[in-house]
Amino acid sequence: MIDLHGKRAIVTGAASGIGRATAALLAELGAAVVLLDLDAERGEQAAKEIGGTFVRCDVSRRADCERAVSTAVEQHGGVDVLFNNAGIIRRSTVTEISDEDWDLVMAVNVRSIMLLSGLVVPLMAASGGGSIVNTGSGWGIKGGGRAISYCASKGAVVNMTRAMAIDHGPDNIRVNCVCPGDTDTGMLAEEARQLGESPDAFYTDAADRPLGRIGRPRDIAQTVAFLASDAAAFVSGAVIAVDGAGTA
Ligand code: NAD
CA atoms within 13 A on the CB side of 125: 12
SS3 at position 84: strand
Return d(Cα 197, Cα 205) in angstroms, integer: 13
CB of 191 within 6 A of ligand 1: the answer is no
The answer to whether position 247 is within a domain reads no
The answer to whether position 122 is within a domain reads yes
The answer to whether position 201 is within a domain reads no
The answer to whether position 191 is within a domain reads no
pLDDT tens per residue, range 189-239: 999 999 999 989 888 887 789 999 999 999 999 999 999 999 999 999 999
**pLDDT given at position 207:** 79
Determine the length of the chain. 248
Ligand 1 center to residue 126 CA distance, Å? Answer: 30
Range of the domain at 81: 8-181+219-242
Say yes or no to pLDDT of 171 above 90.
yes
pLDDT tens per residue, range 27-68: 999 999 999 999 999 999 999 999 999 999 999 999 999 999
Return d(Cα 43, Cα 49) in angstroms, integer: 10
**pTM to 2 decimal places:** 0.99
For residue 52, give the CATH number of its domain.
Answer: 3.40.50.720
The answer to whether position 165 is within a domain reads yes
CB of 120 within 6 A of ligand 1: the answer is no
Using alpha carbons, select from 199, 162, 191 the residue that is nearest to residue 177: 162
The answer to whether position 212 is within a domain reads no
The answer to whether position 63 is within a domain reads yes
The residues, ordered by sequence, that sit 6+ positions from 87 with a Cβ below 8 Å of its Cβ are 13, 108, 109, 135, 137, 153, 187
b/e code 134-172 from CB counts within 10 Å (16+ = b): bbbbbbbbeeeebbbbbbbbbbbbbebbbebbeebeeee
User: What residues are paired with 81 via a beta bridge?
Assistant: 9, 131
State how beta strands 32-37 and 239-242 pair. unpaired
Q: Is 202 exposed, middle or buried (0-12, 13-18, 19+ CB in 10 A)?
A: middle
**pLDDT given at position 203:** 86
Mean predicted confidence (pLDDT) in 18-26: 98
Q: Which of 18, 23, 150, 225 is catalytic?
A: 150
**pLDDT given at position 201:** 85
Task: Identify whether the C-beta of residue 85 lies closer than 8 Å to the C-beta of residue 59.
Answer: no
Whole-Å CA distances, 143 to 13, 42, 61, 158: 24, 32, 28, 13
Return d(Cα 179, Cα 162) in angstroms, integer: 14
Return d(Cα 181, Cα 246) in angstroms, integer: 6
CB of 244 within 6 A of ligand 1: the answer is no
Whole-Å CA distances, 108 to 35, 114, 153, 180: 16, 10, 9, 17
Using alpha carbons, select from 27, 144, 148 the residue that is nearest to residue 93: 148
Domain count, the chain: 1
The answer to whether position 26 is within a domain reads yes
Task: Identify whether the C-beta of residue 21 lies closer than 8 Å to the C-beta of residue 43.
Answer: no
Most informative mutation of 10, 12, 38 for ligand 1 (most atoms within 8 A of CB):
38
pLDDT tens per residue, range 65-88: 999 999 999 999 999 999 999 999
Ligand 1 center to residue 85 CA distance, Å? Answer: 7
Q: How far is CA 220 from the centre of its chain?
A: 10
Return d(Cα 146, Cα 94) in angstroms, integer: 8
